Amino acid sequence: MSLLTVDELTVTFGGRGRKASRAVDGVSFEVDQGQVVGLVGESGCGKSVTSLALMGLLPAKGLTIGGRAEFDGTDLFTMSPSARRDLRGSEMAMIFQDPLSSLNPVVPIGVQVTEILERHRGMKGEAARKEAAHLLDRVGIPDPTRRLKEYPHQLSGGMRQRALIAMAVACAPRLLIADEPTTALDVTIQAQILELLKELVDQEGTALLMITHDLGVVAGLCDQVNVLYAGKVVESAGRRELFAHPTHPYAHGLLGSIPRLDAPRGEPLNPIRGSINDRIAWADGCAFAPRCDRYEMGCLSGTPQLGEPRAAGHQVRCVNPVLDDAKAEEVPA
C-alpha cells in the first residue's frame, strides 16, 4: 500500500461568469515511502495545481476538486479541515519555489521554526529553540544559533531555501512535496539543495513528490517520473526507462529539444513546434496533437487512454507512440 495514492484527480477553476477551465484533468499516481516521484511538465501543465490541491492550499472559491487522494489510507478531500491542518506540517509538508515570499518577512527565522515545533510537537521554550538550532544545522546552515535571530532578508537565496526545508522537515513528515525548489536558485546552490533533499530521502525514508520543469533535476533525483501535459499524465515510467525510451511524442520531443552539457557542439536541437496555447480539448482528442509530428487522424477520436505499448509499468497516453529507438542509435558506440 502506497503512502500517497492519487486517483483521477481533477481541479476545475471556474465561476464568475467565465468559462470553467480544468487545470488538472484526471491525474493518477502513487508515492511510496522513501521514494522520489517526479511531476514534470511546462508551465500550465497542472503540476503546481496538483501539489497545492494535495496540500489543501488552493482557494476554496470557484474551485471544484474531483477524484480521490489517499494519504496513508485516509482520503484527504473528505477529511475535516482541522484534521487536515494537523496533517499538514506534521505528516506532509511542502517546499515552495520562492523561499523569500514563503517566509514571513517580519518574523525571525528562529520564531518561524519554533512556532511549528510548538504547534505540532508540543515543544516549549528552550527545548524548542535547541531543536530549531539543531534543525538548521541539519540542513547545513552554518552558525545556526545566530541565524535563528536573523530575518529572512538577511539570508541568501540558498540559505532561505534551507531554512524553508528545515521548517518543512521540523516534524519529520512522511511526505515532502517540493514545488520547483531550486528553480529560483543558482546552479551551484541548486546542487547543494538537491544533495540535501537526497540525504533526507535516503536517511529518513521521507517520500518526496518533486515538481519541476527541469528534466536534468529529474534524471538525477526521481525514481518514478510522471510527465504532464495540459493537465493529464501523458507518460509515466521509472526514470531509467523514461530517459532511455521516451515514448510519448511530447516526452520524446522534450528530451530532444534540451541542449545538453555533454552533447557535442553543433548537434542541432529538435524543438517541438508551437506553444502550450496550441492545444485542443482532451475530450476531442490528444491535446498535444497540434504540436505533434506523429499526429494522425486517430489522434482526434476522443481522449487517448494510458497504455503500455513498450514495457510493463511504462504507461503512455498516445495512439501513435514513438517505438522505434532512434535515440539509441544516436549514442556513440
- Near other proteins in 237-296, by CB under 8 A: 238-241, 243-244, 253-255, 257-265, 268-273, 275-281, 284-285, 289-291, 295-296
Binding track, positions 299-328, relative to other proteins; x by CB under 8 A? -x----------------------------
What is the sign of the dihedral through the CA atoms of 255, 4, 209 and 281?
A: positive
Residues 6+ apart with CB under 8 A from 10: 22, 24, 25, 26, 27, 64, 65, 66, 67
Nearest distance from C-beta of residue 54 to other proteins, angstroms? 21
Report if residue 66 touches other proteins, rule: CB under 8 A.
Answer: no
Give the nearer residue to other proteins in terms of CB position, either 55 or 95: 95
Cell numbers that stand for 195 in this block: 544533495
Give the nearer residue to other proteins in terms of CB position, either 114 or 182: 182
Give the nearer residue to other proteins in terms of CB position, either 104 or 270: 270
Q: Do residues 95 and 164 make contact, with C-beta atoms less than 8 angstroms apart? A: yes
Residue 18 has what DSSP assignment? E
Which member of 1, 60, 312, 333 binds other proteins (CB under 8 A)? Answer: 333
Report if residue 43 touches other proteins, rule: CB under 8 A.
Answer: yes
Q: Do residues 50 and 176 make contact, with C-beta atoms less than 8 angstroms apart? A: no
Report if residue 135 touches other proteins, rule: CB under 8 A.
Answer: no
Which member of 82, 125, 188, 324 binds other proteins (CB under 8 A)? Answer: 188
Binding track, positions 139-178, relative to other proteins; x by CB under 8 A? ---xx------------x-xx-------------------
Give the nearer residue to other proteins in terms of CB position, either 285 or 321: 285
Ranges of beta strands (E only) in the chain are 4-15, 18-31, 36-40, 63-71, 74-75, 92-95, 175-179, 207-212, 224-229, 232-238, 306-307, 315-317
Residue 300 has what DSSP assignment? G
Q: Write out the binding residues for other proteins, residues 202-241 only, by CB under 8 A.
A: 202, 213-221, 223-224, 238-241
Give the nearer residue to other proteins in terms of CB position, either 65 or 215: 215
Distance spanning both ends of the chain, measured CA to CA: 42
Size of the site for other proteins (CB under 8 A): 77
CA distance 8 to 29: 9
CA distance 50 to 281: 19
Q: Write out the binding residues for other proteins, residues 7-36 only, by CB under 8 A.
A: 17, 34-36
Residue 168: count of CB within 10 angstroms of its CB: 25
Which member of 201, 210, 233, 316 binds other proteins (CB under 8 A)? Answer: 201
Which member of 297, 312, 324, 329 binds other proteins (CB under 8 A)? Answer: 297
CA distance 272 to 254: 7
Q: In what order do the strands lie in the sheet with 74-75?
A: 18-31, 4-15, 63-71, 74-75
Cell numbers that stand for 210 in this block: 518533486
Give the nearer residue to other proteins in terms of CB position, either 75 or 267: 267
Binding track, positions 95-134, relative to other proteins; x by CB under 8 A? ----------------------------------------
